[in-house]
Chains A and B, each alone.
Chain A
Amino acid sequence: SYALTQPLPVSVALGQTARITCGGNDIGSKNVHWYQQKPGQAPVLVIFSDSNRPSGIPERFSGSNSGNTATLTISRAQAGDEADYYCQVWDSSTQVYVFGPGTKVTVL
């Protein structure tokens, strides 16, 4: 079955840029979606189809996807960006949906 990898905790200084990666075999050929989950809350979609932002998501959130790695970039990080971030794909060969293990982002 298709598997996704994500780094363990990521720290970023206030106002700086955080990059969270999502690894998978030829993930560049798939659409990758990203979710933000704050403690005690349901996840929120922040990027869909590699690089698109839903309505209401700040432009500071961006995404890219190529080869075996997709990346979520948080520019000008704010304290409110502290959360767990999950990547997700749909595996067409098995018709199942896959989440990455998640990355905890801390803003220092």
Chain B
Amino acid sequence: QVQLEESGGGVVQPGRSLRLSCTASGLTFSTYAMHWVRQAPGKGLEWLAVISDDGSNEFYADSVKGRFTISRDNSQNTLYLQMVSLRAEDTALYYCVMAARYEFDYWGQGTLVTVSS
């Protein structure tokens, strides 16, 4: 079955950087677009970024554009999210999501990022 496992979350000070990873198994990773979606504590879902199956295209939500970078390594079945200049409002559970089309088919369990001094 499809498994997405996020890692790299933790507690980080405001202004610092963090890189999240997501390792996929159970499907042909290189044929799926991949997304990051986050959920602040007690809040709703917020889409952050998408990268095409071959990594040639990326799109971002305005809230993270210029601070977050999505990338992937199809040889390692791994998705990344590089986050810089972190703010308290970036505190959230970050989900890795796999999408065949425009809906989100498979979700990981998330990795928690806490931005606090």
> Hey, which bits of chain A sit against chain B, CB under 8 A?
1, 31, 33, 35, 37, 42-45, 48-49, 54, 84, 86, 88, 90, 95-102
Q: Does B61 interact with chain A (Cβ within 8 Å)? A: yes
Residues 45 to 89 of chain B near chain A (Cβ within 8 Å): 45-47, 50, 59-62
Closest to A52 in B: B103
> Hey, which bits of chain B sit against chain A, CB under 8 A?
35, 37, 44-47, 50, 59-62, 95, 101-105, 107-110
* 10 nearest A-B residue pairs (beta carbon): A33-B103, A42-B107, A97-B47, A90-B102, A48-B103, A102-B44, A99-B45, A95-B59, A101-B44, A86-B45
From A42, A98, A101, contact of B95 by CB (8 A):
A42
Docked-complex contact A88 and B103, CB < 8 angstroms: yes
Closest to A48 in B: B103
Contacts of B105 in A (CB 8 A): 45, 54
Q: How many A-B residue contacts, CB cutoff 8 Å?
A: 55
Given contacts A43-B45, A86-B44, A101-B44, contact A1 B103 (CB under 8 A): no
Question: Cα distance A102–B110 when bound, in Å?
Answer: 19
Contacts A31-B103, A101-B44 known; 19 new A-B pairs at CB < 8 A: A31-B102, A42-B95, A42-B107, A42-B110, A43-B45, A43-B95, A43-B104, A45-B105, A48-B101, A86-B44, A86-B45, A88-B45, A88-B47, A95-B59, A96-B59, A96-B61, A97-B35, A97-B47, A99-B37
